[in-house]
Amino acid sequence: MVQSYQSPVRVYKYPFELVMAAYVRRFPTCDMIPIMAGADIIKENTSKDGAVSQISRRCRLHVEAPYLLKKIMGVEYIYFVQTNTLDKRNRTLTIEAYNESFSSRVVINEKCRYTVHPENSDWTCFEQAATLDIKSFFGFESTVEKIAMRQYSQNISKGKEIIEYFIEELRKEDITFVPRWEEPSPKAIPEVRVTIENKKLESEAESSSEETERRDRTNSSQSAASRELQLGASATNIPNMDKVNLNEDNNKLDADYIKRCLGDLTPLQESRLIQLKKWVAELQKGKVPSDTCLLRFLRARDFNIEKAREMLSQSLIWRKKNQVDKMMSEYQVPQVVKDYFPGGWHHQDKEGRPLYLLRLGQMDVKGLVKSVGEEGLLKHTLHICEEGLRLTEEATVSQGCPITTWTLLVDLEGLNMRHLWRPGIRTLLKIIEIVETNYPETMSCVLIIRAPRVFPILWTLVSTFIDDNTRSKFLFYGGNDYQGAGGLVDYMPKENIPDFLGGECKTVVHEGGLVPKSMYQPGEEVDGTRQHIPLSDQSMYHSVSLGRGQVHEVILLIEDPGSVICWDFDVMKNDVSFSVLRTKVPITHRPEPQSPSGAMGVIDAVMGSDEQHRSIIEKTWREGHEYFRVEPQLICHDGESIQYHERDGHETCRMDQQPVYREGESIQGSHVTSHMGTYILQWRYYESTQHTSPLDIIDSITAHKSKIMYYYETLKSADYRGSMTSLQSCQSGFSSLSSNTNKSATSSCPSR
């Protein structure tokens, strides 16, 4: 595999001619490059007008390799041929080099360029690129590749230091200015051969005070312009596209800008960043994600360019497909999220990174999911991620140092078994997967405080979905361990510790609380009829309205005995009865509806009854013969009580106590199937008032409708056994924060 390297643009704040005078002093040997054993000139020539000169050298390099490899190679030096082309008219130096030794086994090519800074004519830019292709090397291909790249990286890091060293040597010799090349007189100039090393530098001992003042003014103004230009890349929106770059080539980066705005990177890391930037530019037709964005994806894949490119490509496709940029620009925080989502930004940590507080233990997960849906929670999470990137960008500019991550502080006070609600866990895992894939390496650390005993269960469920790099950033504190030395004071200024954690800083983060049912998303009403529609395209919850005499059923075909049917629903209005049934004969399709007659015919005519509101249980079927009630019937009252109705039947389960359900609670349960066949989740409109005439019935129809929101799923037997999130048929107060609810939520009921 061919290894490639591309350097960022390194800027010398000296004129091109002075840098060239310093550059030639590194030959034939240089104490700062111990690997360099010497260089012999093999060819040199100069153009007739003296503007372009070219010199080729054979350079000897010491072999820095393990002893065994040296013995196999049988050589003391490795030879490279380097050709330098100096164009004084255009003020450029092009350096091309290739290996002469072992060229049939290893191919190394390098190209470097010194050019004038595009914004400041008194500054010089340097960049280099190289490729390494090891075809075969006595079975040591991998070792040679590592040695070569390591040595090359070390030499690159010394390059700027060497130029600075020789410029200082020139200064000691009172050489601070070298005049630019000027066009000679128009007379013919014969071609001459010269040796650059032996050519005596022609410089002026002192420049006039006017010339010095002019250069100082130029340097000052151009320095300001360059700083503004270099900061331009950090001022773009992450992960929006970069608008400004140092050079005409948008794929180039200034090394000083990298250090100031992106942090300290090794030469190879810089190279990977530039290569990824170039690849994305070609793919995106010039529109490239910000440098911090590219760097995050590289870090997430340990600077493996191929893996980072694949990850970034998938993320860009995701952003385009879901129109994330447009969605975030138009996003408005829903009122229910403003009032009941217990999270928000809170000053900075000790390193100046933005800090986000999340009081997860006080969050009504179910209430939020039923109010804004999973899609709504996902949008709000993406909004937080985008806001975090914007704040890190602002912190970089304001503090003058690279801030590329933010800190998350999670308070688990109040966390209990109610949070182990399957749909909530499912939503959380989905959000984690999307964030991990599209916003990698955005967090510096995650501080988990006041973790209760139940937390290890939750952590076991979600930790496997978190990337190893991110998981290593989690720090846990149980009880009050977060107070004092080794706690929060090590990560955030004492004056920023929020009041609910014992500090003195006030915070605008809400405490959360129970989301009122009135804020749950209802179904849509079309032509006076409540329709059964999902809350969103990908929602796990459904909403349905039932009028008098109507029924709603979910038909499940069980092919694996021991599978588990799970359900969860809320009664939004009026009363319903709920049953779990099994038919003796499997039903593969819903039978054709029969013509209604009598009083029910009047009701159906008024209600517009259809197939969806009709039971598949035929009226001629007998309970205990053609069908069975596998769970006790529940009579569910909105905000009042729910009672188990005991019925006789082969599979009826009797309860000695009748649970009481209060406002804000939900009905959640599961059934372990014992047979193959058709199972039915059935909701019926329930009305306890007795009507004496058809007119009483008709009058009540338009005034009373029941409304429910429900969720269900079927778990395979193998997946269910041993699961910590298995649901038993008992009361659930997962959307309530009261102590009474918490106790009931942690209780268990016998399996049916």
Domain ranges for the chain, please list them. Answer: 3-198, 209-322, 326-501, 530-746
pLDDT at 437: 93
pLDDT at 313: 93
**CATH topology classification for 326-501:** Phosphatidylinositol Transfer Protein Sec14p (3.40.525)
- Tell me the CATH number for domain 530-746: 2.60.120.680
> Does this chain's domain 326-501 share its CATH topology with 530-746?
no
Q: How would CATH label the architecture of 209-322?
A: Orthogonal Bundle (1.10)
pLDDT at 22: 94
Q: Name the one residue in this structure whose structure tokens are 């128009």.
A: 186
Widest distance between CA atoms in the chain: 124
Instruction: Give the tokens for residue 146.
Output: 């590592």
Instruction: Give the tokens for residue 496.
Output: 């920023």
CA distance 234 to 260: 9
**CATH topology classification for 3-198:** Alpha-D-Glucose-1,6-Bisphosphate; Chain A, domain 4 (3.30.530)
- How many CA atoms does the CB half-sphere of 333 hold within 13 Å? 15
CA distance 48 to 51: 8
CA distance 446 to 459: 13
Q: Give the global pTM.
A: 0.65
Nearest alpha-carbon partner for 253 in 235, 237, 275, 238: 275
CA distance 657 to 731: 12
* Overall size of the chain counted in residues: 752
pLDDT at 222: 40
Backbone φ, ψ for residue 410 (5° rounding): -110, 120
- What residues of the chain score a pLDDT lower than 70? 1, 65-74, 137-141, 143-157, 187-251, 285-287, 417-418, 522-540, 588-612, 637-666, 688-704, 718-752
- Assign 109 to helix, strand or coil: strand
pLDDT at 442: 94
R_g over Cα of the chain: 37
